[in-house]
Structure 1
């Protein structure tokens, strides 16, 4: 089985987290922002949420799929003890540190903005994603290592065969439908700290691993049929966008979500699987940026919303502020302070040249 660097998967991770930042900034301009603990602009941009409703059914599931794929590649050069130690350093340590030192920051900014008494409140916040990944790695590793040591068995051959058909990869939507039926979430896109988010992520992580495990058949199929998947997703989004509740439901949304993801995986494999200096930089930066982006965007809202600009200009300025400040913090603090690097998922690899390279989650 191949273990070469998959640049398309790196690109999809970078793009998904970039969209996550924009998505969270857009929440500031929704009337219901305060109900989920976000600073709220007095000038709503309800229309801004329309494109977000397309993103919110696949952006988080895509990250879980990609994380499962990443675990497959990590296992090729590590036994289970090495994998647990490496994932503990790279995920569990930043998660615990984030709960204690990072997520309380945006809560303090929220309190200050609304003239509330300031209080220190450790909580998971947006880092719930990391907790889920840790649990998935622990629970699924025995299964994954069994599959790894039986790569020539009947199961892999059967999976590879299924993946040769256009609807083979999309057939996994049946498992996500089952999850909807059992968990019965209030909203499909309500992932954070919910059982729906946990089990949906579990399935996405598991099938992300299986997709790579199945071999080249999967990648050839999604590359060949990528526009079919995008077309199916677009049609189902159109139905959901109209609001016809008698037609649109969460069972159909599972198909839409998986179709978007398969289409994006196919597009990535077709066009993005090549190295670049930009990707090397972004791949290293994206994990620390994900960890700190919430308190940075809250700080942006604190500084920019009182200026009483046009709401679209406020949205644009907060977006630019968030991206620039996050990358400045990464570039001039996290990269250069050795003591902070492991706390934000960065790892030193010393080469003979004496230079250090970064390996990210």
Structure 2
């Protein structure tokens, strides 16, 4: 059965991972970087954190939404056994390998930078996201296959009608409000290896699936009302920034987060839902780049921070080093060495991408 490709979803995943790299590099230039295990610059660019405070409340939830959408697309061609096997290969293997062999690398660099005794310390690190996603697949797969078997039932018809109203997506935020009120996270943006991050991710993953399951009405709604959602998000960000010094109560931040995301979905659906050769390449490269970016970033900090150059050039240098380093490792190592490919979420076989085609692991 031929199905519509959603290139905008692929683009949003690529963009979200790109923003993640910028976000992590920005942390290096903040006074509190060492408290969360980052190499810290002796000079600070605290102004960088102003835009990051807007970004950090929706960048990770967006990825969870997109991951839930990706599972819907993966289910179109697979039964539950095939899907579990595919997700284990795609998520569990890179997570397990990364836990013992990738996250340890940036800790070695951290130890070297601060002249600490070198020690082997396996940990989830930034790959906590993959562990969460696989847990969500295990938890929600029975429900998702039940919904798939009843795609012509009352629930889908009701959901489609509900998503056709601009208030529909906004009401989804109430679930996130309940999560924030019940869990009471110290900081809304503390997702990594916290119960807040787990439950918020579970909700976003679940509703990401439901958004694509509901059909075109959700996308038509966010397309038509995208500026309403972005306007609401901007107002809530202003309240958070000026009245609460960027840390508003969780219930307000939960609504702001979703408003940004719905606005981004609308913009993506309007401007990004078309194939391109660039997307074909980046959609394949984004996942391996996410896995390796932290030790490349730390290596850039190790080499560039001691240089006698203006601090802004150091920031630009680390951004360039990370981007180029990830490209070189992906293009000339991970993509071409067969036994490494599955360890970084790639298929065993390497085929050149044909011009004009966009085949991503999210939607195959």
- TM-score, normalising length: structure 1: 0.96
- Tell me, yes or no, if the aligned pair for 1:225 and 1:266 is still in contact at 8 Å: yes
The one-character-per-residue Cα deviations of 1:244-296 (angstroms, maximum 9, x if unpaired) are: 47994221111110000000001111110000000000000000000000000
Structure-to-structure mapping, 1:268-347, within 5 angstroms = 268-347=268-347
- Tell me, yes or no, if the aligned pair for 1:348 and 1:358 is still in contact at 8 Å: no
Instruction: Please state how far the C-alpha of 1:2 moved relative to its aligned partner.
Output: 7.4
Question: Which SS does the other structure have where 1:118 is aligned?
Answer: coil
- Tell me, yes or no, if the aligned pair for 1:177 and 1:254 is still in contact at 8 Å: yes
Show the counterpart of 1:131. Answer: 131
Show the counterpart of 1:61. Answer: 61
Instruction: Please state how far the C-alpha of 1:167 moved relative to its aligned partner.
Output: 1.2
- Tell me, yes or no, if the aligned pair for 2:10 and 2:360 is still in contact at 8 Å: no
Question: Which SS does the other structure have where 1:338 is aligned?
Answer: coil
Show the counterpart of 1:42. Answer: 42
Counterparts of 1:65 and 1:246, CA distance in 2:
24
Counterparts of 1:312 and 1:358, CA distance in 2:
38
The one-character-per-residue Cα deviations of 1:109-165 (angstroms, maximum 9, x if unpaired) are: 000000000011110000000000000000000000000000111111111111011
Structure-to-structure mapping, 1:1-361, within 5 angstroms = 3-244=3-244, 248-348=248-348, 359-361=360-362
Gaps in structure 2 of 5+ consecutive residues: none
Q: CA RMSD in A?
A: 1.9
- Tell me, yes or no, if the aligned pair for 1:346 and 1:359 is still in contact at 8 Å: no
Gaps in structure 1 of 5+ consecutive residues: none
Q: Which runs of 4+ in 1 moved over 6 A?
A: none
The one-character-per-residue Cα deviations of 1:217-268 (angstroms, maximum 9, x if unpaired) are: 1111011001111111011111111134799422111111000000000111
- Tell me, yes or no, if the aligned pair for 2:219 and 2:269 is still in contact at 8 Å: yes
Question: Which SS does the other structure have where 1:306 is aligned?
Answer: coil
Counterparts of 2:115 and 2:243, CA distance in 1:
38
Instruction: Please state how far the C-alpha of 1:49 moved relative to its aligned partner.
Output: 0.3
Counterparts of 1:42 and 1:246, CA distance in 2:
24
Q: 1:234 to 1:304 in 2, by over 3 A?
A: same
- Tell me, yes or no, if the aligned pair for 2:339 and 2:348 is still in contact at 8 Å: no
- Tell me, yes or no, if the aligned pair for 1:173 and 1:255 is still in contact at 8 Å: yes
Question: Which SS does the other structure have where 1:307 is aligned?
Answer: coil
Counterparts of 2:17 and 2:324, CA distance in 1:
15
Counterparts of 2:246 and 2:49, CA distance in 1:
22
The one-character-per-residue Cα deviations of 1:294-346 (angstroms, maximum 9, x if unpaired) are: 00000000000000321111111100100000011000001110110000000
- Tell me, yes or no, if the aligned pair for 1:28 and 1:38 is still in contact at 8 Å: yes
The 10-residue stretch of structure 1 (112-121 or 342-351) with the greater mean CA deviation from structure 2: 342-351
Counterparts of 1:195 and 1:308, CA distance in 2:
42
- Tell me, yes or no, if the aligned pair for 1:95 and 1:127 is still in contact at 8 Å: yes
Counterparts of 1:117 and 1:329, CA distance in 2:
27
Question: Which SS does the other structure have where 2:294 is aligned?
Answer: helix
Question: Which SS does the other structure have where 2:305 is aligned?
Answer: helix
- Tell me, yes or no, if the aligned pair for 1:229 and 1:260 is still in contact at 8 Å: yes
- TM-score, normalising length: structure 2: 0.95
